[in-house]
Amino acid sequence: MFKNIKVFLSDVDGVMTDAGMYYTENGDEFKKFNTHDGMGFNLIQKAGIKIGIVTTENTKMVERRAAKLKMDYLYQGKGFGGKLESALDICKKEGITIKEVAYIGDDVNCIELLKAVGVAACPANATKKVKAIEGIIHLQKKGGEGAVREFIDMILDEIAP
């Protein structure tokens, strides 16, 4: 199922994070990322699969996280239809089809892309509409608790046992 995957993409809020938005009295915003997910991105990249983030939000903190993880691609601030458009742009740059992409998402703004990719997964705390997508992999872990790593490990177990 994972042998043809050339690009691994992830949403951020609710997938790489617990979907919480944390604000201080001074207006600072925080997101909690999981280090196991970070290591997963590193491992899958070392296995020759390009990695990227496709998110509706547009924040400096996601930009910093992407830089720290040495993401091949970062697409931020795209509206509802923008996620699929972003992934198709990546496919064009890589010379691959959308069926050679794996994507993990959790909410309605991910549905179009989840339905289009070759392999789709969602965290345990994804919305009902996402969980209802035909063929989507339901992960055991919640967003921000290692769901990305769980999906990456599934892929790596098949392509590099």
111 is a domain residue: yes
Angle between helices 35-46 and 147-159 (to 10 degrees): 20
Count the residues in the chain. 161
The pLDDT assigned to 79 comes to 67
1 part of a folded domain: no
Q: Could you read off the pLDDT of 43-90 as tens digits, one per residue?
A: 999 999 999 999 998 889 999 999 999 999 999 987 667 899 999 999
- C-alpha distances (whole Å) from 37 to each of 42, 79, 96, 98, 152 are 9, 25, 25, 23, 8
Give pLDDT, residue 82.
Answer: 87
Question: Looking at the 3D structure of the chain, how many domains does it have?
Answer: 1
73: phi then psi, degrees, rounded to nearest 5? -140, 140
Domain limits at 120? 7-159
Separation of alpha carbons 149 and 100, rounded Å: 19
Residue 46 lies in a domain: yes
pLDDT tens-digit map of 128-138: 999 999 999 99
Q: Could you tell me the pTM of the whole model? A: 0.96
Kindly report, residue by residue over 12-38, the tens digit of the pLDDT: 999 999 998 889 999 888 889 999 999
Strands 50-54 and 73-75: parallel
Specify if 78 maps to a domain.
yes
Token pair, residue 1, equals 């199922």
DSSP 89-145: HHHHHHT--GGGEEEE--SGGGHHHHHHSSEEEE-TT--HHHHTSTT-EE-SSPTTT
Give the whole-angstrom CA distance, residue 61 versus residue 63: 5
The domain that holds 67 is classified in CATH as 3.40.50.1000
Q: Is residue 2 part of a domain?
A: no
- Chain CA centroid to CA 1, Å: 18
